[in-house]
Structure 1
Amino acid sequence: MDAGTLALLLSLLRLTTPLCIAAMGELVAERAGVLNIGIEGMMLVGALVAFAVGVSTGSGLLAVLGGISAGAALAALFAAFVLWRGADPIVCGAALNLFALGATGTFYRVLFPPELAHATAPQPGALVFVVLTGLLVLGVGLFLARTRLGLALRAVGERADAAHAQGVRVLRIRWAATLFGGACAGLAGATLVLWIADTFVEGMTSGRGFIALALVLFGGYRPLRIVAGALLFGAASALQFRLQARGLEIPYGLLLMTPYLLTLAVLALFASRVRPPADLARPFRPRV
């Protein structure tokens, strides 16, 4: 294997990992009936918090935990509006994304003035994130398919009223699934700054949260298929960078569009073929 091929494979791995992590969290949330389009914002906040904690403490582990906690905290805010107050999840998710974009840019400039602009985050190592991703995919797959709690979670996403009649705590499960999805989004954001970029850049998620949403649909709500989809998107992004490095006469804007055009193609081809959970995005009100 030559150096160019090895570099391409490593680039593929780096670009695929955050997509897999975010998509696994969204898979669990959607299986429970919660549509969380705010994962883009949760990734962005997780990235900033991980970067700030990493720079201030010098600890990669604390940086990762900070990113996870930030994503979960933002997911709790989302759940409070959607699950408790019955707000529209799409409106809340969009508002959360806009809030995260503005807030992270503002706080980054406050925390890191020009004299600290070249600060870099500690790197836990590529193996840490690869192993975490593998364990996450395996754990989510086994949880949903092989455990009673996973069965209850899927029942909540399909028929919340029927699950409630059988004694399943619907809101508790949806809360837990939403927090898990937010924690995964925060971990994905931490991966961006601690492994891929080494620093924080405003808006650095660049739509990866929305790509993760498309991956759940592309994979038909099955973990291994979602990973295959993430590899496809990662390959498109890696190819984009490879073509840029070779200096081919392809418009730069067209290269940047490649992963997002692929996202639109996936949605167009698979949106009508995949059946989402029946109670996805439907509010639940327990009957007394």
Structure 2
Amino acid sequence: MNNTIQAKQTNTLALGKLLKYYKLPIIFILFTLATSYFFMVNVADATSYFVLSARNTELPWILELSTPRYSFFSGISLIVITISAFLLRVRKQNIPIWLTIGYCFILLFGFLVLISADARLQIVSLLSGAIALSAPIIFGALGGIISERVGVVNIAIEGQLLAGAFLSAVIATITGNPYLGLLGAVVAGVFVSLILTLFAIKYIVDQVIVGVVVNVLVIGLTNFLATSVLARNKAGLNDPQRFEAIAIPYLSDIPLIGPILFEQTIIIYAMYFMVIAVYYGLFYTTWGLRLRAVGEHPKAADTVGINVNRTRFLNVLLAGAIAGFGGAFFTLGSVGAFDREMSQGLGFIALAAVIFGKWHPLKATGAALLFGFTSNLHTVIGATGSNFASEFLLMLPYVITIFAVAGLVGKSNSPAAVGKPYV
């Protein structure tokens, strides 16, 4: 009996290892089978139009593509890449990252060709809007990376974004100065992080539980204040001046890239700077070295004279400031007024971007941009008048996030001491 049970366990482990080894080719097969019908069978005889210049251009640069031809090309290319990935695994070779990127790019290209049949797809609007919608996720992800790299699980990103959105709207409305609203967003994020650090570091409460409680607290408090205070005096408390897009001279004149990257608001330009600053600071400064040491091996860091809990405390506050700043995008860069639960769960998407990006600022930024792109796709496609299912486009960002984290991220090792209090 014992030998039979042991044999079953051995077979189960062997099957698990085999599935794990062939995980990426299996994912390719599933997606290729799911999309082949749409790309290669029953495709309408139409023309897809990609507008590659800004809306205000007098002579737009339009790329015309035969929908059935390029859709079929995408389907064949996906089949070739899938077979190549499977054969590489059979030969016990690694699948290069460029092959995965190429697969995702061709899948996206074929999808865009299909949904833009007999419609004009504004590529500049799609990409510039994607960057804007990614902003709160990127700020939240950067805050999550700093917090977790130093050893504190940050489930409270959602609360930091929402608190930043609320206080930025109120202060910008009262003062009439959106820059003071940005400062208020930073203060709000720091305050939420202060609650997290006090309970997680000083009183050694479970960090995940504290993060969840903080989110519930912020959501409940902002909902109450929005209903009982802001709604009664919208003009005096909830009507902030939004930041206008600023075109950077010369850079904004670069074809295609210029209108996408360099005709944005001050919040987006701050995001560019913050991504570079966090990346450089984490890996090329003494501050980053100490931060990562505390998150990986706090006892060793303590041995060389680093105050572990003080380092954690200050850096979690810094993480909250960055996430709170990102929350100001909702009120000062997008909507123009605070609304209940307007962060819409993007704090949790930011946490997923942290995991997908393997706690690396640049990779997490790429994950956030992916979500922003799929989110903006629904708006841009709706403007073209395409008949493509809007329900699918609304669902797409969350499906992509689950697929990316569960399917593409592979083995992801968090900082060794994250979530572990240090006494």
Fold match (TM-score > 0.5): yes
Q: Identity rate of aligned residues, in percent?
A: 32
Structure 2: gaps (5+ residues): 1-52, 56-121, 245-263
Aligned to 2:357: 219
- Relative to the length of structure 1, the TM-score reads 0.93
- More relative contact order, 1 or 2 (CA 8 Å, 6+ apart): 1
The answer to whether the 8 A contact 2:178-2:242 is kept is yes
Aligned to 1:103: 221
Do the aligned residues in 1 keep the contact of 2:295 with 2:417 (CA within 8 Å)?
Answer: yes
Query: 1:155-203: per-residue Cα shift (whole Å, max 9, x none)?
Result: 1000111111111110011111110111111111111110111111111
**SS of equivalent residue, structure 2 residue 418:** coil
One-letter code aligned to 2:234: L
Matched, 1:41 2:153: no
Alignment of 1:158-169 (within 5 A): 158-169=296-307
Deviation, structure 1 residue 63: 0.3
Alignment partners' CA distance in 2, 1:32 and 1:48? 27
Residue in 2 aligned with 1:88? Answer: 206
CA RMSD of aligned residues (A): 1.8
Q: 1:263 aligns with which of 376, 391, 401?
A: 401
3-state SS, counterpart of residue 220 of structure 1? coil
How far apart are 1:114 and its partner, in Å?
A: 4.8
The 4+ residue runs of structure 1 with deviation greater than 6 A are none
Give the counterpart letter for 1:230 in structure 2.
Answer: A
**Correspondence 1:269-280 to 2 at 5 A:** 269=407, 272-280=410-418
1:179 to 309, 317, 322: 317
1:44 touches 1:189 (CA, 8 Å); kept in 2? yes
Deviation at residue 43 of structure 1 after TM alignment: 0.7
**Structure 2 equivalent of residue 238 of structure 1:** 376
1:13 to 2:131 alignment? yes
Q: Per residue, is there more strand in 1 or in 2?
A: 2
Q: Measure how far apart 1:270 and its partner are.
A: 5.0
CA distance in 1, matches of 2:349, 2:186: 20
Larger Rg belongs to? 2
Q: TM-score, normalised by structure 2?
A: 0.64
Choose 33-42 or 3-12, whichever is displaced more: 3-12
Cα contact 1:54–1:62 (8 A) shared by 2: yes
CA contact (8 A) 1:60 1:124 kept: yes
Residue identity in the other structure for 1:7:
S
Shift of 1:247: 4.8
